[in-house]
Structure formats: C-alpha cells, structure tokens
Amino acid sequence: MNASYIPVLKPISHIKLAPGSAITIPDMSWQEFEAILQELGEKRSARVAYSQGTLEIMVPLPEHEKPKDIISDIVKILLKASKRKYEPFGSTTFKREGIAGVEPDVCFYIKNYQIMIGRRRLQANDPPPDLAIETDVTSKTTIDAYEGIGVPEVWVYDSGSLIIYLLSNGKYVNSDISPTFPDVDIKRIIPQVVERSWVVGTVQALEEFEEILTA
C-alpha cells in the first residue's frame, strides 16, 4: 500500500531566516502574494520582491543599514544643494497588481514629489518612485520587480561598488551617469563616502562630503 502524500502547511511568518539569507518560492499567484504580505505584516526586518510568479523573501545583513543610511543622506544633501524638493518613502511596498511587488531599502519621489505630499498610504494611481536604492546583494527577481513597477532609476550598492540601472523601453540598462544627478560622479563618490564612514564615522564622512561639495 502506497503511503499517502500529506503536504506540509506552515505559515510563512513561522519561517526563520538568518540575516543575509533569502528564500525563493516559485509558482505563486498574485492573491497568494497579497496574503503573504498581510501575514508578514509591516513591522518586520524581511524584504520581499515578487515578479512573474516568483516570490523572494530576504533578510538583510545588519551591516547593510549603514550604507543605506549614508546613501540616503548623500541623496538628500545633493538635492538640497541643487535646491530641489523631494519626498522620501523609505521601504514602502510598491505594487503593480498582478505583475510585481517590491520594497526598496530607500526610495525618493523627486519629479513627482508634489503628488506624494501628505500620502500616508499609496493609492492605485500613484506613480512609482523616481529613484530607488538597494544596499545588499540584489537578485534578478528584485530587478525584474522594479522593471514591472516601472521605477525609472535604481541604484544597487554592493561590495564597495555602485550599479546604476536606468529604465529604457521597459528594460533596465547599466549606466555610468545618474540622470537625477548628471553632473555628479555618483559611481565614484558613493563608494568613497561609504568606505570613509567605516574609518572616521558616518557624521564626519558626510561632513567631509558636504565640504567638498560646497568648496
């Protein structure tokens, strides 16, 4: 007699992932993705990305918080120096129903900042952020999710280098220049300031950057 197959059903929230690890779940419907988001809740360390039926749940390493905060501060300094206004939206969950969902480490509305003033929750017709930033190893699922949502510019900082992705005809291409800051050598400056912060501390590294910027 053949043994009966009994599926193992366990809530996603019960799965414990170590920092720096990730789990990929294929063949997932949009409805299942929405249910998992609800189950996980908003107050969690894990990040999620969903694209083309694949869900990835990632837990960042503790040391990725420092680069995330520094890069966010650099963006704010540069925007202030160029007298541009913005709305930061942190790691908000952005979704395009039935297609993709993703949670940036940091993101900014710049061109569309006025639309987002006062937003406590995203609305269905809200545009994607103008700039999203990731500061850890980023998977294909994550990049595909950003494509699906239509984020025009994504920065990925990993292992001391910065990759700039620009959306072109619905697909990302690598770029050496950020259209958000075309006159700034972002790919050189960000790694320098981040690495400097490990030596002299975050505040001094940012102060040194501001001094160079205003010199």
Could you give the CA distance from residue 96 to residue 94 in angstroms, rounded to a whole number? 7
> What confidence tens digit (pLDDT) does each residue in 26-49 have?
999 999 999 988 888 877 778 899
Closest listed residue to residue 100, CA positions, set 150, 149, 39? 149
Q: Give the model confidence (pLDDT) of 50-90 as tens digits.
A: 999 999 998 888 778 899 999 999 999 999 999 999 999 98
**Residues forming beta bridges with residue 164, ordered by sequence position:** 155, 175
Q: Tell me, yes or no, if the pTM score tops 0.85.
A: yes
> Could you state, in order of their start, the residue ranges of all structural domains in the chain?
62-214
Per-residue pLDDT tens over the stretch 114-132: 999 988 889 888 999 999 9
Q: Does domain 62-214 have CATH number 3.90.1570?
A: yes
Contact (CB, 8 A) for 94 and 108? no
Q: Which residue has the tokens 């990305």?
A: 49
Three-class SS state of 28: coil
Which pairs count as long-range contacts for 8-17, CB under 8 Å and 24+ apart, including other chains?
11/39, 12/36, 12/39, 12/40, 12/57, 13/39, 13/40, 13/41, 15/57, 17/46, 17/57, 17/58, 17/59
Length of the chain: 215
Closest CA relative to residue 59, chosen from 3, 13, 97, 99: 13
Give per-residue pLDDT as tens, 144-201: 999 999 999 999 998 899 999 999 999 999 999 999 999 999 999 999 999 999 999 9
